[in-house]
Structure 1
């Protein structure tokens, strides 16, 4: 079935809302805003955040903006499961490539159920190359990527994929985009489109509210982080090798 379009945006972000509204209306695409969680005001979902575990891996806590961002996407995933409909989830600083985005939105109902989450932008890592084309129809091409895309600017999500992300998100230790990238853990495969449908609008500053320069890492944190990243790299490699063999 055709996906609904949801734009995550703070209720006070009027300029951003106007910009994304103009883009979607020009394509004659219906959409709704989801009022994002303001991290500075707190939220009941922040109880999912495990600060103690986070500080074993990083020198600082997640910022209120990062927590608010995670909570906003988490709530949209819940809506996706409850509705039973796939979604195209956009953040309000998405800059759409009009023709490509409209084509994806109009052809998305052709996507098979096994494609539970598809990133609609180019990976932030240039070395993150696609492993295999997994779907093609009417000019719409979807690829399996070897690593995560490191952003949540825009993505397609099915209820089955949302349910897996919710289960994985019972404990937060890092920003939502990095949690979504851990496909070998939660089982929501990392797919993307080529060419991309959108990018991040550089005309807007980030509203996440990063804390600036991070404190120096303790030796124990550095060692723990290195071991963790090595284990994750091996797990990701193993997962991708199994994918190739399927």
Structure 2
């Protein structure tokens, strides 16, 4: 495999680094570690974080772990763009690589698709989802799909230089977790596919982001009243944006099939 894997990790996660190193050396895959951002160590929200928008649309702030994760993925994209490779795989450090990871990455690149992003975050829920359509079969058990909902998970993705730049541009100000940004193609402008099944599996080990993102905390008083009005408006905007994204994808795929 000629395309490098960029593994996001924290300095203290030495056991995870060793596990990843053992796997990738056995697969003879080039890789490098990217030092992530520990959200718990941030004294204040970073420049670019739009807390008011987050609270307006979601009723609560991003957690420190989510902010650190977002900044870590930005750092990985920047490191990828600082090197000459046309494509790179960015992943987190709590993953397991299947033996055919390198082969399927090379297969995707060899198809000649002008893609920005291929997400490798398959779960049973995503596999069962009807909100997707088949684009093309790859070698073996793999295929590329378009996803029309907002699947969570950002632990692994293949990105082109153009895609990395678009993600960086779209993330200069943010109010969403990074995996949500990956799904919001209408916001970032990326041309994104989803690989099923995934050759890079999430281990489900103890998360360094924390579980606070799953806690249901809603504002009260005046802030709560504003949220109860703003949330349906945002969901309506999101639904229309997803429809526009699906239309754009359908036209792109039709042109590809007819060429």
TM-score relative to the length of structure 1: 0.88
Q: Which of 226, 229, 234 in structure 1 is aligned with 2:235? A: 229
Question: Alpha-carbon deviation of 1:113?
Answer: 5.2
**Structure 1 stretch 6-15 or stretch 59-68: which is displaced more?**
59-68
Q: Which of 226, 243, 251 in structure 2 is aligned with 1:220? A: 226
Question: Alpha-carbon deviation of 1:43?
Answer: 8.1
Question: Alpha-carbon deviation of 1:127?
Answer: 2.2
Q: 1:108 to 1:132 in 2, by over 3 A?
A: closer
Matched, 1:205 2:206: yes
**C-alpha distance in 2, partners of 1:127/1:153?**
19
**Structure 1 stretch 168-177 or stretch 232-241: which is displaced more?**
232-241
**Structure 1 stretch 165-174 or stretch 219-228: which is displaced more?**
219-228
Q: Report if aligned partners of 1:117, 1:190 keep a CA contact under 8 Å in 2.
A: yes
1:40-119 → structure 2 map (5 Å cutoff): 40-42=40-42, 46-85=46-85, 86-99=87-100, 101-112=101-112, 114-119=114-119
**C-alpha distance in 2, partners of 1:136/1:40?**
42
Q: 1:239 to 1:107 in 2, by over 3 A?
A: closer
Structure 1 spans left out of the alignment, 5+ residues: none
1:60-99 deviation line (CA, Å, top 9, x unaligned):
2111111111011111112222324211011011122223
Aligned counterpart, 1:37: 37
1:178-222 deviation line (CA, Å, top 9, x unaligned):
1111002221123111222122102x1111023373433413213
**C-alpha distance in 2, partners of 1:213/1:108?**
37
Aligned counterpart, 2:3: 3
Question: Alpha-carbon deviation of 1:45?
Answer: 8.5
Structure 2 spans left out of the alignment, 5+ residues: 255-259
Q: Report if aligned partners of 2:118, 2:159 keep a CA contact under 8 Å in 1.
A: yes
Aligned counterpart, 1:180: 182
Q: Report if aligned partners of 2:6, 2:32 keep a CA contact under 8 Å in 1.
A: yes
Q: Report if aligned partners of 2:134, 2:143 keep a CA contact under 8 Å in 1.
A: no
Runs of 4+ in 1 over 6 A off after TM superposition: none
1:217-245 deviation line (CA, Å, top 9, x unaligned):
41321321121111111121132124224
1:147-197 deviation line (CA, Å, top 9, x unaligned):
343111110001100111111111110111111110022211231112221
Match of 2:46, SS state, is helix
Q: 1:93 to 1:230 in 2, by over 3 A?
A: same
**C-alpha distance in 1, partners of 2:238/2:35?**
34
Aligned counterpart, 1:192: 194
